[in-house]
């Protein structure tokens, strides 16, 4: 039985104006207790969180109460603390807005905005060094999977993205999200076996590099997660929750996935 936290995280991307974000967050906050009630025996702790746009953080914050209900996440974070960096939002600004955690290295940032492993490494190190929890995203393209290079692609992303992180900072504040690019927003989900095998490879790499502190990290799956496939993914083992795009935009479907996390028995490690 795992003691790793199960995270159910919504990434709202460039969706939801402030009023819609507040309404969705309120819906999640009000339904959460019921969704997580009477968990299956041995269920690990389930924590939920949502990542609105920067401009909707303030409207969402009142419904996101760390350690109690939902966590508040940012979708990205600057690599530097402050200064002449037009368009950037730093850790201190996020904390002031009530943010608990930041997503770093999402594949859409990597594909459309030039976030390289080197830049992701600086963002990640900065977030962790200044007290945010960070959700580091990694994942291979379809081309890489078709060539059979998916595991080496992901391990390279992982190690290069962690290159600037002090090994003392490898603790519960580091969460990994495996999101195969070909499964994001496509309706095509990795099979439970594909996801589990990659999570095992990631865990083994973290264990070899950082010992128990690395091995014990929560590793989430992302890519077309829906209420209908959440339970079978969790039941595969080694999947410690989800980073959810489309299905997190409505409180009902988000809560259904959270409920699946509370009701699905995890195989023993
Ligand atoms: P999706 O997005 O659930 O819409 O596939 C996942 C993500 O990008 O985190």
Beta carbons of 136 and 161 less than 8 angstroms apart: yes
Annotate 96-152 with DSSP letters as a single string. HTT--EEEES-HHHHHHS---HHHHHHHHHHHHHTT-EEEEEE---HHHHHTT-HHH
Q: What pLDDT is recorded for position 269?
A: 61
Assign residue 39 a region (left: φ > 0; alpha: ψ between -120 and 50; beta: otherwise).
beta
Tell me the mean pLDDT per 10 residues along the chain, length 269.
88 98 94 94 93 97 74 97 97 96 98 97 97 97 95 98 93 96 90 97 97 96 97 96 98 98 88
- Token pair of 88, please? 């950037």
Q: Is the pTM of this model over 0.95?
A: yes
234 alpha carbon – ligand 1 mean position (Å): 17
168 alpha carbon – ligand 1 mean position (Å): 30
259 lines ligand 1 (CB under 6 A): no
Neighbours of 228 (CB within 10 A): 13
Q: What pLDDT is recorded for position 188?
A: 85
- Residue 103, beta-bridge partner list: 135
Calculate ∠ Cα 90-75-132, nearest 5°: 55
Q: What pLDDT is recorded for position 27?
A: 94
Q: What pLDDT is recorded for position 103?
A: 98
Residue nearest to atom 3 of ligand 1 (CA): 245
Among residues 12, 2, 41, 6, the alpha carbon closest in space to that of 185 is found at 12
Q: What pLDDT is recorded for position 219?
A: 98
Active-site option among 106, 150, 199, 205: 106
Q: What pLDDT is recorded for position 42?
A: 87
Angstrom distances, CA of residue 94 to CA of 61, 81, 245, 259, 269: 11, 11, 21, 29, 36
104 alpha carbon – ligand 1 mean position (Å): 14
Annotate 189-200 with DSSP letters as a single string. PPPHHHHHHHHH
| Best probe residue, ligand 1, of 230, 243, 250, 253 (max atoms within 8 Å of C-beta) | 243
Atom of ligand 1 nearest to the CA of 108: 8
Using CA atoms, how far apart are residues 199 and 6, in angstroms rounded to an integer?
Answer: 14
90 lines ligand 1 (CB under 6 A): no
36 alpha carbon – ligand 1 mean position (Å): 22
Let me know if 106 is a catalytic residue.
yes
Q: What pLDDT is recorded for position 177?
A: 98
225 lines ligand 1 (CB under 6 A): yes
Beta carbons of 177 and 218 less than 8 angstroms apart: no
Instruction: Identify the helix (H) or strand (E) that includes residue 244.
Output: strand 241-244
Angstrom distances, CA of residue 86 to CA of 80, 90, 96: 12, 11, 19
Atom of ligand 1 nearest to the CA of 225: 3
| Pairing mode, strands 6-11 and 101-104 | unpaired
Residue 165 DSSP one-character state = S
246 lines ligand 1 (CB under 6 A): yes
Using CA atoms, how far apart are residues 249 and 225, in angstroms rounded to an integer?
Answer: 12
128 alpha carbon – ligand 1 mean position (Å): 24
Active-site option among 108, 140, 150, 179: 179
- Token pair of 12, please? 């709202």
Q: What pLDDT is recorded for position 89?
A: 98
243 lines ligand 1 (CB under 6 A): yes
222 lines ligand 1 (CB under 6 A): yes
Q: What pLDDT is recorded for position 64?
A: 82
């Amino acid at each position: 039985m795992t003691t790793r936290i199960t995270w159910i995280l919504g990434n709202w991307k460039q969706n939801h104006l402030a009023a819609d974000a507040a309404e969705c967050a309120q819906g999640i906050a009000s339904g959460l207790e019921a969704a997580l009630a009477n968990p299956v025996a041995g269920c690990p702790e389930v924590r939920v969180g949502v990542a609105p746009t920067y401009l909707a953080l303030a409207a969402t914050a009142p419904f996101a109460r760390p350690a109690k209900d939902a966590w508040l996440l940012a979708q990205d974070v600057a690599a530097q603390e402050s200064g002449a960096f037009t368009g950037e939002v730093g850790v201190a600004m996020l904390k002031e807005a009530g943010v608990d955690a930041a997503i770093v290295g999402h594949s859409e940032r990597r594909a459309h905005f030039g976030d390289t492993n080197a830049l992701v490494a600086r963002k990640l190190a900065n977030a962790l060094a200044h007290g945010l929890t960070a959700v580091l995203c990694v994942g291979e393209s379809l081309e890489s999977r078709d060539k059979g290079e998916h595991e080496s692609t992901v391990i390279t992303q992982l190690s290069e993205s962690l290159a600037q992180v002090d090994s003392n900072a490898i603790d519960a504040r580091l969460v990994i999200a495996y999101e195969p690019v070909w499964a994001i927003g496509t309706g095509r989900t990795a099979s439970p076996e594909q996801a589990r095998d990659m999570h095992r490879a990631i865990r083994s790499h973290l264990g070899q590099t950082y010992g128990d502190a690395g091995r014990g990290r929560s590793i989430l799956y992302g890519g077309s997660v829906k209420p209908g496939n959440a339970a079978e993914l969790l039941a595969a083992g080694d999947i410690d929750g989800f980073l959810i795009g489309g299905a997190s935009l409505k409180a009902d479907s988000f809560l259904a996935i959270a409920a699946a996390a509370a009701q699905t028995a995890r195989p023993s490690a």
